[in-house]
Amino acid sequence: MNLPDGLLDGQWTWLAWLLFAAFAWLAARRAPWRVLADSTRLNAFLAMIVALILLWHLQAGVKPGLSLHLLGATLLTLCFGWSLAFIGLCLVLVGVSLNGAAGSEAFAINALLMAGVGVAVSQGLHRLVEWLLPRHLFIYIFCKGFFAAALAVMAVGVTVCLLLAMAGAYSSEYLIDEYLPYFFLLGFSEAWISGMFATLFAVYRPDLLADFEDAQFLGRK
């Protein structure tokens, strides 16, 4: 994650910018902007962006591009839906890039990896839970908040390793032995934080969750 400039060839960079432009246009078109007209939701959106900028700076890594940090994609998706979550994570990446923690030329690649993959996996798992499992508070918190967050981070890790191996930046053996296993540990941390905030929001501020209905989950009228 947080790939620096020059790690991948130019063809990967240009392809990433084309894909990013398409996804960014789709997200901007589908985003429920009216949600941010509510000052409470807007303040929560901006506060999460600032908090994630700080968290993304708390990263560990020994080689260029092989860094680890918390993501926040699942929680943003729970609160604002996939489109605003994608836009929010892109704004987080802007702040991180301006501070020199990620490459500006590699912005599109980083956005697709962290915002794109993270949000897509989170959204897909949320819809899968709704389709397969009953609507229950316990299922909402642990499946949508806890397990989805862990799987989203692991999916980002697998995608990053595949990209770096295909581009020839690092050997697949090195990535599998020295980088990929740490995403399983990172997934537990991501799951714990996302599940904790999902629980707090569900109990005390359900209005901050995009798909949470009091009547169905808490029995409120």
Domain annotation covers residue 4 = no
> Which CATH number goes with the domain that contains 71?
1.10.1760.20
Q: Return the structure tokens found at 25.
A: 């246009």
Q: Which long-range contacts (CB under 8 A, 24 or more apart) does 19-24 make?
A: 19/108, 19/112, 20/107, 20/108, 20/111, 20/112, 20/116, 21/108, 23/86, 23/112, 23/116, 24/86, 24/87, 24/90, 24/111
Helix (H, G, I), strand (E, B) or coil at 211: coil
DSSP bridge partners of 67: 61
Total domains in the fold of the chain: 1
Domain annotation covers residue 63 = yes
State how far the Cα of 96 lies from the Cα of 54, in Å rounded to an integer: 8
State how far the Cα of 172 lies from the Cα of 190, in Å rounded to an integer: 25
Domain annotation covers residue 2 = no
| Tens-binned pLDDT, residue by residue, of the chain (221 aa) | 788 888 888 889 999 999 999 999 999 999 999 999 999 999 999 999 999 999 998 888 778 888 899 999 999 999 999 999 999 999 999 999 988 777 788 999 999 999 999 999 999 999 999 999 888 888 899 999 999 999 999 999 999 999 999 999 999 999 999 999 999 899 999 999 999 999 999 888 888 998 876 545 554 44
Range of the domain at 201: 10-217
